[in-house]
Each structure stands twice: as structure tokens, then as C-alpha cells.
Amino acid sequence: MSSAVRNLEPKAIWNFFEDINAIPRPSKHEERISAYMVAFGEQLGLRTVKDAVGNVIIFKPATTGMESKPTVILQSHLDMVHQKNSDTQFDFNTEGIRSRIDGDWVKAEGTTLGADNGMGVAAIMSLLASKDIPHPALEALFTIDEETGMTGAKELQKGLLQGKILLNLDTEDDDEFSIGCAGGIDTNTSYDYTQEAPPTGAMAFRISVSGLKGGHSGVDIHLERGNANKIMNRLMFDGDAFGLQIASIDGGSLRNAIPRESFATVVVNNAKYADEVRARAAAICHEYHLQDEGLKIDIQSTEMPGMVMSFDDSRKLILAIQSAHNGVYTMSSAISGLVETSSSLARVIVKDGKFITQSLQRSSVESAKMDVAYTVAAPFRLMGCSVEHGGAYPGWAPDPASKILHILEAQYVQLFGDKPKVMAIHAGLECGILGERYPGLDMISFGPTIKHPHSPDEKVHIASVQKFWNLLLHTLANL
């Protein structure tokens, strides 16, 4: 934990942020952070509810003179994406995030920072703990598992909340208001491949792809950063001439992050394969030298594996991955510059007779979401894979006539002398689901500036936290 970070302004937010970052809180393992939030609410003497899945709701009455104002739901998610660089020694299950100040930013040491969505959680905690900030009645909703399925929002019980205004604090540019978002669906494939002993006289190589920026597979997908799984496949493509057979692949890590690393072991019948890979690597690194200047591709001789995938299955796998769409699929015709539909091939695994892929498709148009999901699935179906679509969640349709939007716009102009950007985003926010659970909610999302979420390069802009806090306070005071 960093005392320097704790001394940043506003101190309440930064101290609560450091407090929650001391608690391991990966998606689907939020037991400790949920228990902490329950204790936090009870220690303040506020009515606190923990539901069956682990969401926590803390209720705070209006301050004197604000009782007639509409009740406001403040919402952020408790879980964070756990990602680290391969050379970082860190145990997410037992260690707290090690944050540090880097110029105008706060970063972590070789891991994700947890600003997504820890800054929102910390801001809400600051309001709940305050004794002198005017505000209407507050319903603080802390959801679980936003990053890997939005389970908390999906399972939120109806009738727990009474507010009609929802402020989601999970947008990542301090001059933007989000009033719409994409929905998503997972496409997961599996295939039992034929294993056999390596051919006599074969030689083994280990190939590594690393140093990519990665990032959020929705927010960053238009930046055309390298996908480690697709790059690895390019290095293996047309390996027939070398009798290439795959022994193992371990590519990517999380379904909602652009994969930064991939590692594979292959066997071939000719050492010239290494020269071919190095030539392709040089061309690929040049191709990505602007958007992914840190890309590193390496091939080294390695110990012969005990078993490999058959030649025919290796060929089928490589053709299927080559054919699978990755990246922007369509741009929006309704909103200029907005990605409408995309797919990210997040995970590729070859191990012990099983070939697995995981990908996430996103779209602000429901029919287009399913179209790209079926498109991604098609080459794997042709290969003979089993395909499952799951984890679907709805998008959030923009409402330009939103009353809370107009209130925040007015406050922003008054405070900062400029107009905010009002937009929909190509990422999943819980607003779409919460709007289904609680029809009629007037919703908006905003927050401080966070760069490179879902990657070890994640960072939050220090000055933007104060800006975000000022906007939040003035909005609550002027509803």
C-alpha cells in the first residue's frame, strides 16, 4: 500500500481506494470484499443488505433539507480484472495491489490497478461516510462479477431499490457521459483432439508472443492492437511444409481482455522452420510498430514433448483460428465513430487432448450480436468443435431526452466551462441489465479518466479524480 497515494486529494476517495485494493477481489471470488462492504455499512450505522449472490446495498437517508429530493441509486462493481506481466511475481489471491504515483497518474507495479471500478466504489464509500456533504437519500449498490458475466446485476432481486435515478460510476474519461452501451455474448468452443507420439527425427520449438498492450476488448477494440492468439496462429500457418504438429498452446487469460501473450510448443521435421518464424516475426513486429511497439516474438529449441496433436488436427486447428473473425465487425450507422459490433478471441488452449477457445462478441444491436457470434462459431463448427453460446447480457439503448443527462450537462458546463461528450460506448455496463430489472430508471454513467483497463498498464489520472468528485457532489446537491 502507498502512503503517497493516500495523501492525494480528495483524501477520502484515495484512502478508501487503497483500503479496498488491500483486499483480493477477482471476479467470482468477491466473498472478502462483500464482507468488508457489509462491515463498512454496519459500522456507519446504515441499513445494509447483502443479497443471495453477494451484492451489497447500503442505504443512507437524505441530509437535512434534502428529504424532498428524489432518491438516487449510486452504483459500481466490486470485482476487478486480475492481470499481471509474465515477469511480475504477484499472488492475486493473497496480496494487495501495490499502487504508486507515476507523474500525473496512479499505476500498479506490474499488475492491473483496480481503478476499474474501484474509483467508483471509493467515491460512493466517501459519500456514505461523510458527515457534511449535502445529498438526497442514497441507495448505494455494489454489484459482484461485473467483469466475467455481470452475475450480480442479473441476479439482483426486484423490489430492493426505490430510487428512479441511477448514477453508474464506471465510465473511463472525465469529459464523457455514457448514455448507452453494447450488449455481449460468449462463444466457447471445445474439441477432443487425437494425441500421438512425436515422429522419429522431429525437433521441438517453443514460440512466445509477448509485450503486447492488450487492454479492454470493448473500449480498446477499435485501436487495432495485436491479439496474441491471432499472431501466434500466423506463425504456425502453412506449417504443413515442415510437418508441424502442436504440442501445447496457452494464449490469453481473460475473456474480456485483448490477449497480450501466447506460448506454444510445436514439433517439426526441419530446423529451417525457426528461420521461417523469425522472418515472419520481423514482418509482424514492423506491422504493429505503431500501435504495439513492445511486441516481442521469440522461438527457441526446447525439450521434446511426450505427446503431440495429430498432423490433421493441427492443420484443422490452425485453419479454424485463421478463419475466426477478430476485431471490429461493423461500425454504427446511428452514432459516428462508434463500433457497433466486434469480437475478441480471448483464449486459446491446447493441453492434454483438449483444444479450447473463448471469445466475447459485443454489439449495440441484438441481431448483429448474434450474427457475429455465429460467424465466429462457424469455422470451429466446421472443424468439428462443440460450441456453446452463453453469458449473454443486453445493451443499453441511449435516451437523449434523459432528465439526469440534462442535469449533469448543466453542472458540467457551470463547473468546467465546456460541454461534455455525450456518447454510447462499445463496452458492457450494468445499466442495460439494471434497466430491465428496474424499468423506468433514468440512468447515466460517468467517472474519472482511466487508461488501459484490463491490462497491467492500467492507470488513473490524479487530477481527473478531483474533477469527477466535484461533478458528483454538485449533481447530488442540485437535483
The Cβ-side half-sphere exposure at 189, using a 13 Å CA radius, reads 28
Q: Cβ–Cβ contacts within 10 Å for residue 31, how many?
A: 12
In the block, cell 443471495 appears at 52
- Measured distance CA(106)–CA(122) in Å, rounded: 15
Which listed residue (79, 147, 442, 457) is catalytic? 79
Segments forming the whole domain that contains residue 340: 185-393
In a shared domain, residues 166 and 107:
yes
pLDDT for res 149:
84
Instruction: Name the domain boundary from 393, 416, 436.
Output: 393
Q: Cβ–Cβ contacts within 10 Å for residue 61, how many?
A: 14
In the block, cell 462459431 appears at 377
Q: Cβ–Cβ contacts within 10 Å for residue 304, how many?
A: 14
In a shared domain, residues 198 and 172:
no
In a shared domain, residues 387 and 399:
no
In a shared domain, residues 21 and 162:
yes
pLDDT in tens, 383-392: 999 999 998 9
Tell me the three state secondary structure of residue 262.
strand
Q: Is 260 exposed, middle or buried (0-12, 13-18, 19+ CB in 10 A)?
A: buried
In the block, cell 457532489 appears at 473
- Measured distance CA(421)–CA(402) in Å, rounded: 15
In the residue annotation, 371 being an active-site residue is answered as no
Instruction: Name the domain boundary from 393, 421, 449.
Output: 393
In a shared domain, residues 404 and 355:
no
Which listed residue (30, 139, 146, 174) is catalytic? 146
The total number of structural domains that make up the chain? 2
In a shared domain, residues 196 and 178:
no
In the block, cell 458475466 appears at 149
Q: What is the CATH number of the domain that holds 356?
A: 3.30.70.360
Do residues 180 and 286 lie in contact, with contact meaning Cβ atoms separated by under 8 Å? no
> Which set of grid coordinates corresponds to residue 226?
495485436
pLDDT for res 1:
58
- Measured distance CA(52)–CA(137) in Å, rounded: 24
pLDDT for res 148:
86
Do residues 349 and 356 lie in contact, with contact meaning Cβ atoms separated by under 8 Å? yes
- Residue ranges, the chain, pLDDT below 50: none
Residue count (the chain): 479
Instruction: Name the domain boundary from 393, 420, 455.
Output: 393
In a shared domain, residues 412 and 315:
no
In a shared domain, residues 93 and 28:
yes
| DSSP of 32-76 | HHHHHHHHHHHHTT-EEEE-TTS-EEEEEPPPTT-TTSPPEEEEE
- Measured distance CA(384)–CA(258) in Å, rounded: 26
In a shared domain, residues 121 and 215:
no
pLDDT for res 41:
98
In the residue annotation, 388 being an active-site residue is answered as no
In a shared domain, residues 55 and 160:
yes
Q: What is the CATH number of the domain that holds 23?
A: 3.40.630.10
In a shared domain, residues 171 and 214:
no
Do residues 41 and 48 lie in contact, with contact meaning Cβ atoms separated by under 8 Å? yes
In a shared domain, residues 167 and 197:
no
HEC string of 155-168? HCCCCCCCCCEEEE
Tell me the three state secondary structure of residue 297.
strand
pLDDT for res 86:
79
